[in-house]
Amino acid sequence: MSFFAILFALLLEQVRPLARHNPIHAALRGWARSVSRNFDAGKSHHGWVAWVLAVLGPALVVAGVYWLLTWAVGWPLAVLWNVVILYVTLGFRQFSHHFTDIRDALEAGDEARARELLAHWQQVDASELPRSEIVRHVIEYSVLAAHRHVYGVLGWFAVLAALGFGPAGAVLYRMGEFVARYWKYRSKAQSQPASAALQGAATRAWGVIDWLPARITALGFAVVGSFEEAIDCWRHHAQRFPEDNDGVILAATSGAVGVRLGGEALKTVFSPNSSQGFQSPGAPDPAATAETTPGREPEVGHLRSIVGLVWRSVVLWMVLLALLTMARLLG
């Protein structure tokens, strides 16, 4: 029933997206902050204990509720529980409004507005960016956001749901990404900063969690885009990006639509976004730089190509999941 849970969650998120200021995300921030405050003593094993509690704890609770509903009540409520968790953990609408607003500004010729919107979204200095670089950064941020909010969530959800853990995979993925990003931000806090050991544990764990989903996303982009160019760019240019998993996705994207990506990352200069309490998702390390991939200079038209690439990839994986669900029901 994973297919129906995903379908209903995506439709619900399109109709009524989760508000930016919501008690669920606030509670998760409070949970991550509480765990680091009580278990982060600066040692390596303390960092791993804190990570297990912060990430695996909520995932196991969600799995426990799923098992209880399945055995004690029945599968309809278990499916509803899957929909609720997926609605909270995934969604295009959590980032797509930024993409749409910047694209509209560029199409209207208002580059100053586009720079302002990009700066507000990622909390970076975009004041000196030429038009092509605005487009490039929007493509990179949007593709990574789509991966973290949609493809990665769906990948882990499908795997653990097939093993009987219900929606635990979606929580595992989102919490793994969240604490790696949040504790990195907390390392700069004035009071009770996150230790290097805690950051290291969260970063290493996130790299492992995201390894397979990143490659599944890249493969999906290759299938629905220009396959040979995407695979070639993946093989030869992924290492040009600072982050291994992100590099795979961005290189495949570059080849799939024939656009040049990579280069110097924007510098973080603003205070953390108050609506999130930490730096926006998808923002790179301020000191990170990368060589560029082959391809055409980024143009506004490439933004529409990216939208098509992302949605075609969603349709691809939904069709595959539907086929697997049908085969399971008929078998």
pLDDT by residue (tens digit) across 30-66? 999 999 999 988 898 999 999 999 999 999 999 999 9
pLDDT at 234 over 70: yes
Q: Is 28 in a helix, a strand, or coil?
A: helix
Residue type, position 284, single letter: P
Q: Is 31 in a helix, a strand, or coil?
A: helix
Residue 124 sits at the vertex; the CA angle it makes with 92 and 195, to the nearest 5 degrees, is 90
Bridge partners (DSSP) listed for residue 190: none
Q: What is the pLDDT of residue 25?
A: 85
Residues 6+ apart with CB under 8 A from 264: 289, 290
Per-position DSSP letters for 119-188, written without gaps between them = HHHHTB--TT--HHHHHHHHHHHHHHHHIIIIIHHHHHHHHHHHTT-TTHHHHHHHHHHHHHHHHHHHTT
pLDDT at 269 over 70: no
Q: Summarize the confidence of residues 293-305 as an average pLDDT.
A: 93
- The tokens describing 118, both together, are 């990009």
Note the helical H segments in 20-107: 23-39, 44-51, 57-68, 75-89, 96-107
Measured distance CA(58)–CA(277) in Å, rounded:
20
CB 177 within 8 A of CB 157: no
pLDDT by residue (tens digit) across 138-147? 999 999 999 9
Q: What is the pLDDT of residue 281?
A: 43
- The tokens describing 17, both together, are 């997206």
Nearest-10 crossing angle of helices 131-146, 111-122? 40
CB 175 within 8 A of CB 57: no
Q: Read off the pLDDT band of 331 (50, 70, 90).
A: low
CB 150 within 8 A of CB 173: no
pLDDT by residue (tens digit) across 171-220? 999 999 999 999 988 777 656 788 899 999 999 999 999 999 999 999 99
Q: Residue written as tokens 């024939």?
A: 258
Q: Which percentage of the chain shows pLDDT scores above 90?
A: 66
Per-position DSSP letters for 195-226, written without gaps between them = PHHHHHHHHHHHHHHHHHHHHHHHHHHHHHS-
